[in-house]
Structure 1
Amino acid sequence: MARPNDEVEALLREYADLIAITGGDAFKARAYEKAARAIGGYPADIAGLDEDGLKEIPNVGRSIADKVVEYLRTGRMAVLEERRAKIPAGVRELIAVPGLGPKKALRLYEDLHISSVQQLSAALDADALADLRGFGEKSRENIRHGIELLRRAGARVPLSTALDTAEEIVAELSRVTGCRRCACAGSLRRMRETVGDLDILVAARRSDPFMAALCELPATAEVVARGTKKTSVRTAEGLQVDLRVLPQESWGAGMQYFTGSKGHNIRTRTIAVHQGLKLSEYGLFDAGSGQSLASRTEEEVYARLGLPWIPPTLREDRGEIEAALHGELPEVVTERDIRGDLHTHTDLTDGLAPLEEMVAAASKRGYAYYAVTDHAPRLYMQRMTDEKVLAQRERLRELAGTLGRMRLLHGTELNIDPDGEVDWPAGFLAGFDVCVASVHSHFGLGRGAMTRRLVRACENPYVNIIGHPTTRLIGRRAGVDADWDEVFAACARTGTALEVNAQPDRLDLCDVDILRAREHGVKFAVNTDAHAVAHLAQLRYGVGTAQRGWLTRDDVINTWPLTRLRRFLRKGG
């Protein structure tokens, strides 16, 4: 069910990888990567665009537009298929291993005839890579860890992909005659960062029309099992979808039963047993008489168990039952609570849209404030200069009078050097409203050096937020190694917020780290790190992650009124 934009983005990224594998022009590979990102972030559906329309997208020139038009018209891209034919399938499999890369994958194939992840793992175990140039001990350890990341990901898909698919299916099934309710449950409703399968519930009198509709959806590639109570299909992307149809009167019980984690559900069923009750997807019943006591709403079910309603994102058996019993459940932050975005980019550096478009899109979201934080000069590929950033500041001031209630903040995303230093001297940094500082290089520093690096950045009086703190990319790159409790303590001590980055491949900090940092008294910023107008809508993934970390409005600085936020950004000054 991928959008044409997503399909083309994946194909262009693959083509860029294949150029790199075959030793092609690095600038050409980079051009295709940039075009892929631009098309993936383009807000409109590209299916209806001709060559001229495609060339309006940043970084898409005539040659790339021709290839995209060819794919949209024929379903194939000839140059990509030609490149694929030159590269063994095994090498293409190897480059999926985080930390390996196309050139090393090709060398493994040519020198050791390794053409699968399984063979690579066996070669590592046999120490067969030790004498291969470029595969030192640290490199081999990174590859080993990359294989583990790949295996852990398994058939799970990113939250954003699963949510897009689920919302399309729910929309289709909701149109079927007789549908009273239709919604997602399971790990997707709990907003887990990756999803193994989709649980979709329908409330209706008859199940057959819905089971048939699911099997006939264009996205359905395979029917795994079809029945009257449950039907399972698999999409073209390999995602399994399980559909269950319940009576309307059992809707609340079904949503409760199929949403919680295994641990959470064991706890609620145990509470029911101790009260002489039986809890199932059809309702909460008296174990002796079989009388139905609660089933229509989740609130009814939880209340009959002696509990308040527990937000789905908390149902992970991480203490939420105890908190509920003691009246200590947090009122978790919601998307409506977010008053502004404090980390976004424009085409002045690596964003895809001009300043005016990003600001206008933020204003339409009803924000009270909005920060533009383009990259600083030490991320050399972005070619930032003092003159450029000061000109941007002037333009922001010009725009400020046209926006009504929304206030514009001029910021920057600084680079944290290996020694903890950041771009620009103190006098220059003082001119920004907000400074996000992030690690963009030297990910392999040892634990002690990485910890000192991050702590020193926190201690900088002009650094307000540590962006995507662990630098992880889900399923592709592990987070950096640091003593995170020491970093969290430094953030709390210095008044430096930690970011919950909403990009679906980051979600950094993750929920577990948020829980730890919160114990230290850290404050957080839920930001999109948007590089395109469409990315502003990714806020919901960051909010979901924040909820899983039990964050409230008071924990999240960009839910605060601007006056309180500005006091925080002064870091006690």
Structure 2
Amino acid sequence: MARPNEQVGALLQEYADLVAITGGAPYRARVYEKAARSVAGHHLDVSTLDAAGLREIPNVGDSIAAKVVEYFRTGRIEEVERLRARIPAGVRELTQIPTLGPRKAMMLYDERGIASVQDLLDALDAGRLRGLKGFGPRTEENLRHGITLLRQAGGRVTLDVAMELAEEVVAALSALPQCERCTYAGSLRRMRETVGDLDILAASTKPRSLMKALTGLSLVSEVIAHGDTKTSVRTTAGMQVDLRVVPPESWGAALQYFTGSKAHNVRTREIAVRQDLKLSEYGLFTVPPAQRRHRRKATLTGEPASGEGPPAESTEPTEPAEESGPPEAGELVVSKSEQEVYARIGLPWIPPTLREDRGEIEAARDGTLPDVVTEQDIRGDLHTHTDLTDGVAPMTEMVAAAAERGYDYYAVTDHAPNLYMQRMTDEKMLAQREQLHALAKRYPHLTLLHGTELNIDPDGEVDWPADFLAGFDICVASVHSHFNQTRAQLTRRLVRACENPHVNVIGHPTARLIGHRQPIDVDLEAVYEACADTGTALEVNASPDRLDLNDEHLLAARRHGVKFAVDTDAHAVAHLDYLRYGVGTAQRGWLTAGDVINTWPLRRLRTFLRKGRKGREKP
């Protein structure tokens, strides 16, 4: 279930949307939007705060604090309920479409009677939006694209949502005396950018106790299937959770099997078959001589052998699978740990994030499997924000949280003036620099870097002249607008930013928002070449709504010799924990610590950050 902060943040954001839909004052909607971000990102559990404590949260005044108190007292906010009643549910559904704001959603309802996503699609097909003010051909194209994005997301959720649920379930089951081991598996363990169904694996000699405990959790709204070794439930948020319980002695084999991916498991099973072994969720077994010829043919041709299921069954089923016992096979060889399973078929242990059949089997065989970057390798965060711009926590709190994480260095990179709604000025930025320098005296073991997130304008220029930029320790430059430029324009825009001697990192390079905004149409190969040539790093933005660059981009960029920065883009103290998702994405892109500049010692990092300021030197 969502944290109390996120529950309240979502309600306040909904209230802001409802105010906008019903024609309320724009400033009122903005006030609640800011409060929603502040509450969701607050480091303390807001359910434990009284009205006075809530008012200490940035952007939370008396009225908003009263609504939060009301929610925790009654389970609802009366004003939200009142506005909900005024608006058809379908109109709120329309606001989930990327590119369609609340006012236009209400206009579609008032002017054309459109009250659902399907209604809108039918209206587009029938040409019924023509003549409606603000809905020209380009808007219609954007709406179709937004509907496609919405439907592609389907029932999948971002990594942070899946992780929070998984950790709650794992913690509840691990607390049972009958549970010997428990963890999440499937696409979440592989850190895929979105997750459909959640796979939980447990080891126990008394599986029924665990099944009963799962179905009794308060987050469960429906029991889909209930058995002795597998139970599937649906949560109150609509996500399916599949729990599988195996004997403790089968733990390693089961973890390897249910982690997947399907393609990776097919490869490992093929290797086992060639050694006259059978690999399943119960272990690695010898195969009786009479079955060997048939099994080899079945696995290598993709056809099931007599009495067996197909060799390429999915490790992430969308339907509850039938329960089955251990396979009829020969002697058990190994099963207790993943390491021994891989070792027995002649491979080193392969990190879960690499198990996508993208060359990891071959790399493991020839000894070139990368030693992927880990969270422990990260020495600092190079892209974060404070409440000076659109962050929700003051600089003192962000720096204190960075120090608590044990970082060697930490950069504050608030927005620059060309992102006009942030109202940045030269004077504000210089004052922040002085405050940061003063704050550094409190943290002798943490080097504080003063930076900025620049805006790459449509021509590739950035905020501030060179002499002002020279005063920053680090400059991240990002695209924040004009996403619909041509491919050539967008490519030249990013390349010019790379060529700026003061730009160190290109932030969230494709500008995508998962499920809400497609990546910009840019020739990334040209950008990779520019980064490699100019000594500019590309960001792996760890925000679970971005994960930008993604794993496939990283695989391609790495071949050009590009360096990367794994940053959180944190706008609140809690967002610093997003680092795990950025590191997971970096691992999926086969990045090592040497590829990531914020794993480097400060001296080497500073050399890289000097970039072209003194002859374009590279580390």
CA contact under 8 A between 2:385 and 2:414: conserved in structure 1? Answer: yes
Deviation of 1:124 after TM superposition, in Å, equals 2.3
Distance 1:19 1:532 in 2: 25
Q: Say which SS state the counterpart of residue 442 (structure 2) adopts.
A: coil
Distance 2:145 2:362 in 1: 36
1:204-237, Cα deviation, whole Å (9 max, x unpaired): 1111110000011111111111100100111111
Please identify, of 547-556 and 284-293, the stretch whose mean Cα deviation from structure 2 is larger: 284-293
CA contact under 8 A between 2:178 and 2:210: conserved in structure 1? Answer: no
Deviation of 1:171 after TM superposition, in Å, equals 0.8
The equivalent residue for 2:617 is: none
The equivalent residue for 1:17 is: 17
Which letter does structure 1 place at the counterpart of 2:186? Answer: G
1:64-118, Cα deviation, whole Å (9 max, x unpaired): 1111111111011111111111111111111111111112212222222221112
Q: Say which SS state the counterpart of residue 475 (structure 2) adopts.
A: strand
1:95 and 2:95 matched: yes
Distance 1:397 1:90 in 2: 52
The equivalent residue for 2:583 is: 543
1:330-369, Cα deviation, whole Å (9 max, x unpaired): 1110000000000011111111222122111111111111
Q: Where do 1:122-271 residues align within 5 Å? A: 122-271=122-271
1:514-540, Cα deviation, whole Å (9 max, x unpaired): 112112221110001111111111111
1:493 and 2:518 matched: no
1:512 and 2:547 matched: no
RMSD: 1.2
Which letter does structure 2 place at the counterpart of 1:36? Answer: A
Distance 2:64 2:486 in 1: 41
The equivalent residue for 1:114 is: 114
1:388 and 2:428 matched: yes
1:553 aligned residue (585, 593, 597):
593
1:316 and 2:356 matched: yes
Distance 1:169 1:198 in 2: 10
Distance 1:287 1:151 in 2: 45
Q: Say which SS state the counterpart of residue 171 (structure 1) adopts.
A: helix
Distance 2:199 2:344 in 1: 25
Q: Where do 1:392-541 residues align within 5 Å? A: 392-541=432-581
Please identify, of 136-145 and 532-541, the stretch whose mean Cα deviation from structure 2 is larger: 136-145
Distance 2:101 2:116 in 1: 14
Distance 2:90 2:397 in 1: 43
The equivalent residue for 1:282 is: 282
Contiguous gaps of at least 5 residues in structure 2: 289-328, 615-619
Distance 1:21 1:513 in 2: 38
Deviation of 1:133 after TM superposition, in Å, equals 2.4
Distance 1:399 1:78 in 2: 43
Which letter does structure 1 place at the counterpart of 2:476? Answer: V
Q: Say which SS state the counterpart of residue 200 (structure 1) adopts.
A: strand
Deviation of 1:180 after TM superposition, in Å, equals 1.2
1:291 aligned residue (331, 341, 356):
331
Deviation of 1:566 after TM superposition, in Å, equals 0.8
Distance 1:321 1:131 in 2: 58
Which letter does structure 1 place at the counterpart of 2:485? Answer: L
CA contact under 8 A between 2:284 and 2:333: conserved in structure 1? Answer: yes
The equivalent residue for 1:67 is: 67
Deviation of 1:502 after TM superposition, in Å, equals 0.9
In the TM superposition, structure 1's runs of 4+ consecutive aligned residues that sit over 4 Å from their partners are none
Q: Say which SS state the counterpart of residue 611 (structure 2) adopts.
A: coil
Which letter does structure 2 place at the counterpart of 1:308? Answer: P
The equivalent residue for 2:311 is: none
Which letter does structure 1 place at the counterpart of 2:255? Answer: M
Which letter does structure 2 place at the counterpart of 1:99? Answer: T
Distance 1:65 1:567 in 2: 48
CA contact under 8 A between 2:454 and 2:477: conserved in structure 1? Answer: yes
Deviation of 1:129 after TM superposition, in Å, equals 2.6
Which letter does structure 1 place at the counterpart of 2:396? Answer: E
Q: Say which SS state the counterpart of residue 436 (structure 1) adopts.
A: strand
Distance 1:498 1:124 in 2: 39
Which letter does structure 1 place at the counterpart of 2:96? Answer: A
The equivalent residue for 2:57 is: 57
Deviation of 1:302 after TM superposition, in Å, equals 0.7
CA contact under 8 A between 2:387 and 2:395: conserved in structure 1? Answer: yes
Distance 1:490 1:151 in 2: 35
Q: Say which SS state the counterpart of residue 442 (structure 1) adopts.
A: coil
Q: Say which SS state the counterpart of residue 413 (structure 1) adopts.
A: strand
Distance 1:60 1:400 in 2: 29
Distance 2:552 2:393 in 1: 33
Percent identity for Structure 1 against Structure 2: 69
CA contact under 8 A between 2:454 and 2:475: conserved in structure 1? Answer: yes
The equivalent residue for 2:295 is: none
Deviation of 1:510 after TM superposition, in Å, equals 1.2
Distance 2:594 2:141 in 1: 41
CA contact under 8 A between 2:42 and 2:393: conserved in structure 1? Answer: no
Distance 1:18 1:454 in 2: 37
Which letter does structure 2 place at the counterpart of 1:145? Answer: H
Which letter does structure 1 place at the counterpart of 2:257? Answer: Y
Q: Say which SS state the counterpart of residue 209 (structure 2) adopts.
A: helix
CA 447–130 in structure 1, closer or farther in 2 if over 3 Å, else same: farther
CA contact under 8 A between 2:354 and 2:590: conserved in structure 1? Answer: yes
Deviation of 1:174 after TM superposition, in Å, equals 0.7
Distance 2:284 2:127 in 1: 57
The equivalent residue for 2:299 is: none
Contiguous gaps of at least 5 residues in structure 1: none
Q: Where do 1:321-332 residues align within 5 Å? A: 321-332=361-372
Deviation of 1:168 after TM superposition, in Å, equals 1.0
The equivalent residue for 2:300 is: none
Q: How many residues align?
A: 573
Deviation of 1:399 after TM superposition, in Å, equals 2.1
Which letter does structure 2 place at the counterpart of 1:502? Answer: A
